[in-house]
Amino acid sequence: MDFCLYDPGQGYYTTKEQIFGPQGDYYTSPYTHQVFADCLADACAHYFQILARPGPFHLVELGVGEGFLGRHILTRLKNVHPEIFEEIQYCPVEVGDDPPDEIQGVVFSNEFFDALPVHRVRVRGSEIREIHVLVDEEISELEGEVTDPRILEYMKTGFREWQDGHEYEVNLRMVEVMEELDRRINSAFVLTVDYGYGWEEYRSIDRPQGTLLCYFRHQVMTDPYVNLGRQDITAHVNFEVMTQTSQQLGWENEPLTTQRHFLHRWGLEKYLEEEEAQGILNPERLKERLGLKSLLIPGGISDTMKVLVQKVRV
């Protein structure tokens, strides 16, 4: 997964020209409608005011991609919160990069943690077996011993019950990123927007193959061994592990919520009122409203995406 996504010469994120949108493989919230970035920007402005310390403030984005979200947030801050914009240092951080030292401000990400490489394991009775990749004339899977003792700790933290024969993903890289952030943060809010689950939600659906999926030309694929370097590979974020890891680091977690509730909290209703004032039948607003509909349709992306806000020494 690491090679297929991030290899400098052949990786999906490092070499593919178009990932998002109609010519890519999938949509994300920033590409669906600008109100997503506007609400994030307004939330960041609020967090900066809570910190209430002399600038500069760091605005650290994990997983920048094409830079679409960061640009829109900065534009919103410049236009609506100019006094905060003047104090901001925007710090883009890609996978493999180190975050800046002595962070004071906001660390945010959108669909970053679900794209980090994971270990995969399968339960055999009371034993955890790691799923290895065997590369010969063809690519195949081979069960073997667990390669890292942290895998067992992750399983105990993230999954209170194990189903015999079921597969699970173990995102040790997520834990490493959080630990690295903790070493580099003076005082900050960490805002994570991603596909994921808490324990109660995870066990409510039978998941014998776990959550690992691939996306290729707007089609969901289940085989990670095809379209190598040309399809996205993703695994849902285990927010149970994320929240418990942060508690061990001394962070404070706000309640996990949906993207829909987050948008409502940070100005969605006001935006909808302004949009309605433009006129229901205004043809110039049609494209805008189709994007808004895609973002807010019940059961869609705003109900499946989760948002977690964490305070670090605030």
The predicted pLDDT at position 268 comes to 77
Q: Which residues pair with 309 in a beta bridge?
A: 191
Using a cut of 0.85, tell me whether the model's pTM lies above it. Answer: yes
The predicted pLDDT at position 126 comes to 87
HSE-CB at 257 with a 13 A cutoff on CA atoms is 13
Q: What residue type is 5 in one-letter code?
A: L
| Cβ count within 10 A of residue 52 | 6
| Cβ count within 10 A of residue 131 | 16
| Cβ count within 10 A of residue 177 | 20
List alpha helices for the chain, DSSP H: 2-6, 12-15, 29-32, 35-51, 68-80, 82-85, 149-158, 172-184, 199-203, 239-249, 259-265, 268-277, 286-296, 301-304
Q: From 3.40.50.12710, 3.40.640.10, 3.90.1640.30, 3.40.50.11810, which CATH number describes the 16-118+171-312 domain? A: 3.40.50.12710
Backbone torsions φ then ψ of 254, nearest 5 degrees: -80, 160
Strand boundaries in 101-218, DSSP class E: 103-110, 119-124, 127-135, 139-144, 167-170, 185-197, 213-216
Going residue by residue through the chain (314 aa), what tens digit of pLDDT does each one get? 999 999 999 999 888 776 655 555 455 555 555 788 899 999 999 999 999 776 789 999 999 888 889 999 999 999 999 999 999 999 999 988 999 999 999 999 999 999 999 999 999 998 999 999 999 888 999 999 999 999 999 999 999 999 999 999 999 999 999 999 999 999 999 999 999 999 999 999 999 999 999 998 878 889 999 999 889 999 999 999 999 999 999 999 999 999 989 988 988 777 777 766 665 555 555 566 566 666 667 777 778 889 999 999 99
Each domain of the chain, given as residue ranges in start order, spans 16-118+171-312, 119-167
